[in-house]
Structure 1
């Protein structure tokens, strides 16, 4: 009599929610620096899902002290994609780029010309998202990529005392 042992099947996708033909996907990175990658349908629920995913990654890495700032940053960046682009999906990547640095990237497929943010007047109700990102992040930038654009920001862990 022979017995066969099989390893448990590791799902490629940790989390998938079907929304029509589009899906939200959270995929673990198998190699490289610790990272979290997710793709969400660009709708009003995307910022909340992105916040939860980023906080989960930070807690997993023992960086809970960055959670509040990271939540605000990713919320602003994902909301901008939802409000200001025609992208059907938004990607979020959080990477531990160094022992003391976490990078948050938000990617969309919008190919429209990028404009330089202008400072809104005091009575405008919106338009402060990227100014908030600039104030809270240690570094940030917007880059054109072949598939659309990438907005990233970095938080230094060494500035925060646990």
Structure 2
């Protein structure tokens, strides 16, 4: 359930108040409510549990559809699922932040951040017999560009998607 609240009235000459969205219950700490910003963006925080990849996939697709970026939905669904699953599999974080940013008329950036402070490990080259270890290669094949960065609170991985790729 989402309740819309408004900030106190602005001082003279300041902008009008924006709604503040609050959620109660559920796996997500933030509701699915893309807020009007420039550029459009969406941020959600998920509890690190096995339901996070599915929730993040759903929200990423809904966000892209609301922005008219239907062509990116399938790629984003796969990328978000892989990145959130990697965080669950390889870190001890309690929350996972997923941000989508519309970077142009046909482009969007996906950012997945964890709060684990262990070192960044580059992907290994799996053997032909191995079942795991190809996820980031898949992300790289779908993205125009991607990267991993250390931040004060943990690590983030990002990738840029573009229509007609």
Give the TM-score category using the shorter length.
Answer: 0.7 to 0.9
Question: Could you tell me how far 1:28 is from its partner in structure 2?
Answer: 3.6
Aligned to 1:62: 68
Q: Within 5 A, what are the aligned runs for 1:13-162?
A: 13=22, 15-18=23-26, 24-26=29-31, 28-157=34-163, 159=164
Q: How many angstroms apart in 2 are the aligned matches of 1:18 and 1:71? A: 21
What is the count of residue pairs matched by the alignment?
148
Please, what TM-score do these two structures have when normalized by structure 1?
0.84
RMSD of Structure 2 on Structure 1 (CA): 1.8
Question: Could you tell me how far 1:156 is from its partner in structure 2?
Answer: 1.5
- Identify the range of structure 1 (92-101 vs 27-36) with the bigger mean alpha-carbon deviation: 27-36
Aligned to 1:3: none
Please list every run of 5 or more consecutive structure 2 residues that lacks an aligned counterpart in the other structure: 6-18
The residue matched to 1:77 in structure 2 has which SS? helix
Please list every run of 5 or more consecutive structure 1 residues that lacks an aligned counterpart in the other structure: 1-7
- Identify the range of structure 1 (28-37 vs 70-79) with the bigger mean alpha-carbon deviation: 28-37
The residue matched to 1:43 in structure 2 has which SS? coil
Question: Could you tell me how far 1:155 is from its partner in structure 2?
Answer: 0.7
Please, what TM-score do these two structures have when normalized by structure 2?
0.82
Q: Is the Cα contact below 8 Å between 1:142 and 1:150 reproduced in 2?
A: yes
